[in-house]
């Protein structure tokens, strides 16, 4: 019997030790998405893959991709304790978890500061367009879906521009236009662009008879040396060519920073500012301390801690606050602030149900054909 094993791959930066406040390491973990939800997040069901303070995230992902692809090509022999027989396991990447900046990097995307700020589609545009009525409304509609093959082509186009005059500005404009920035190749592109700028500046200052063709030939030789015997395609983000993976679609929105540490956190800051100005924080703390936690799936609500450390709360605090705030501030804040909290409470519940639905949808949806 041959079984497919969907893998949840997680990567993010973590603190590597306790002797320093922050010693940045990138770490990769995997989980078996076939496990039931009550088990999937338990520590003994999460597999440590790799960690490094020096290797770039895409270098770690390249090793992960090669490992999974090799295992899928040959199969992993295992023992089925239920049916008492040997079986073959074929792993594949189901989706890639992490925070939004890391997921953008996995998609070779420049992040939210780009004109085209979405790693999944091409929604957005120049600032003038987004500030217009048409452009602003378009932000709330899905754009054309990004394709891994198209992203690879745009990265290859960047290599063509890197050897031409004015490469730095051209690469910057192309990033603004497409939102594509591949961290796996950006250091090579920057090195070639800087070298070309110096060669052309030296030619202009000395008047040496060095043609543009000669300069581009030197840049191409330097590029070949930087590649160290590999092709350009071999250096590009490995997830863009991973079998069975559409990385633009397989990076689900990370809820913690997007919602709880995003809009909920900012709304909380504005609300406590209003309460503090009105000298109503004590009344709010009393109500929060007496609120029933039945149905919140939390052990307790520490009202004194939340108010005292109101500028330093974390995700679990905001998850509880989003569900109870309308019942605590109904007569303490303006009506528009109360309405905003009511909408946030509904949003958190909807996202929770959507997250469960998306997980189930990932597991039952047909996967792309493999080409091992």
Q: What is the pLDDT of residues 250-306, one digit of tens each?
A: 998 888 888 888 899 999 999 999 999 999 999 999 999 998 877 776 767 889 999
Query: 172 with 231, same domain?
Result: yes
pLDDT of residue 369: 42
Tell me the CA distances in angstroms from 60 to 5, 10, 239, one per residue in order: 21, 11, 11
Task: Please check whether residue 322 lies inside any domain of the structure.
Answer: yes
Q: How far is residue 182's CA from residue 246's CA, in Å, rounded to a whole number? A: 16
Q: State whether 79 and 144 are in the same domain.
A: no
The DSSP code for 145 is B
CA dihedral 256, 261, 262, 265 (to 10 degrees): 140
Q: Please check whether residue 21 lies inside any domain of the structure.
A: yes
Q: Which of 98, 118, 136 is the last residue of a domain?
A: 98
Between 138 and 351, the higher pLDDT residue: 138
Residue 207 lies in a domain: yes
Same domain, 167 and 270: no
Among the residues of the chain, which ranges form H helices?
37-40, 57-74, 100-106, 127-131, 133-138, 148-162, 167-178, 183-206, 212-227, 232-235, 255, 265-277, 281-290, 303-308, 315-328, 335-364
Average pLDDT, the chain: 86
Residue 134 half-sphere exposure toward CB, CA atoms < 13 A:
4
Same domain (yes/no): 153, 186: yes
**Residues contacting 335, CB < 8 A, separation 6+:** none
CB 121 within 8 A of CB 145: yes
Beta-carbon contacts of 156 under 8 Å, excluding residues fewer than 6 positions away, are: 232, 233, 236
State whether 143 and 232 are in the same domain: yes
Residue 221 pLDDT grade (very low, low, confident, very high; cuts 50, 70, 90): confident
- Per-residue confidence (pLDDT) for residue 18, from 0 to 100: 64
**Within-domain flag for 20:** yes
pLDDT at 350 exceeding the cut of 90: no
Q: How confident is the model at residue 88 (pLDDT cuts 50, 70, 90)?
A: very high
Supply the range of the domain harboring residue 189: 127-241
Asked if residue 367 has pLDDT above 60, the reply is: no
What pLDDT score was predicted for residue 202? 77
Say if residue 262 is in the same domain as residue 225: no
Q: Is 27 exposed, middle or buried (0-12, 13-18, 19+ CB in 10 A)?
A: middle
Indicate the residue among 209, 241, 273 that finishes a domain.
Answer: 241
Q: Give the tens place of pLDDT for each residue, 9-57.
A: 999 888 766 666 667 888 999 999 999 888 987 899 999 999 988 888 9
DSSP secondary structure letter of residue 333: S
Q: Are residues 289 and 199 in the same domain?
A: no
Is there a domain that residue 38 lies in?
yes
Judge whether 250 lies within some domain: no
The answer to whether position 108 is within a domain reads no
Number of domains in the chain: 3
Same domain? For 237 and 259 the reply is no
Residues 154 and 180 in one domain: yes
Question: What was the pLDDT predicted at 23?
Answer: 76
Beta carbons within 8 Å of 216's beta carbon, 6+ residues apart: 163, 164
3-state secondary structure of 314: coil
Q: Is 76 left (phi over 0), alpha (psi -120 to 50) or beta?
A: beta
Q: How much is the pLDDT for 21?
A: 61
131 and 227 in a single domain? The answer is yes
Q: Is residue 368 part of a domain?
A: no
Phi, psi of 330 (to 5 degrees): -55, -30
237 and 259 within one domain: no
Q: Minimal CA–CA distance to 320: which of 298, 349, 352, 347? A: 298
Q: Which of 217, 241, 265 lies at the terminal end of a domain, its last residue?
A: 241
Mean pLDDT over 61-77 rounds to 94
Asked whether the predicted pLDDT for residue 143 surpasses 70, the reply is yes
The answer on 168 and 69 residing in a single domain is: no
């Amino acid at each position: 019997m041959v079984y497919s094993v969907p893998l949840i791959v997680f990567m993010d930066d973590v603190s590597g030790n306790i002797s320093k406040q922050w010693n940045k390491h990138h770490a990769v973990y995997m989980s078996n998405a076939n496990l039931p939800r009550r088990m999937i997040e338990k520590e003994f069901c999460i597999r440590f893959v790799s960690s490094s303070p020096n290797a770039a995230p895409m270098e770690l992902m390249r090793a992960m991709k090669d490992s999974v692809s090799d295992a899928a090509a040959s199969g992993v022999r295992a023992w089925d304790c239920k049916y008492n027989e040997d079986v073959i396991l074929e792993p594949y990447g189901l989706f890639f978890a992490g925070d939004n900046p890391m997921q953008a990097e996995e998609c070779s995307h420049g992040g939210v500061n780009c004109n085209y700020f979405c790693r999944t589609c091409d929604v957005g545009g120049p600032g003038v367009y987004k500030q217009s009525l048409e452009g602003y409304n378009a932000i709330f509609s899905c754009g054309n879906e990004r394709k891994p093959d198209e992203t690879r082509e745009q990265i290859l186009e960047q290599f063509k521009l890197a050897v031409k005059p004015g490469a730095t500005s051209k690469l910057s404009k192309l990033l603004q236009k497409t939102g594509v920035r591949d961290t796996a190749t950006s250091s090579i592109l920057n090195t070639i662009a800087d070298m070309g700028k110096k060669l052309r500046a030296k030619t202009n200052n000395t008047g040496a008879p060095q043609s543009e063709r000669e300069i581009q030939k030197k840049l191409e030789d330097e590029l070949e040396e930087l590649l160290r015997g590999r092709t350009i395609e071999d250096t590009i983000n490995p997830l863009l060519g991973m079998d069975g993976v559409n990385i633009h679609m397989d990076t689900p929105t990370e809820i913690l920073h997007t919602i709880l540490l995003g809009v909920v956190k900012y709304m909380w800051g504005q609300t406590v500012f209003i309460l503090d100005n009105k000298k109503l924080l004590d009344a709010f703390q009393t109500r929060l301390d007496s609120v029933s936690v039945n149905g919140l799936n939390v052990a307790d609500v520490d009202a004194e801690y939340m108010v005292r450390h109101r500028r330093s709360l974390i995700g679990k605090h905001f998850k509880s606050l989003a569900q109870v705030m309308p019942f605590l501030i109904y007569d303490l804040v303006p009506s528009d602030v109360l309405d905003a909290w009511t909408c946030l409470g509904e949003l958190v519940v909807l996202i929770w149900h959507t997250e469960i639905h998306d997980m189930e949808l990932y597991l039952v949806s047909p996967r792309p054909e493999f080409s091992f």
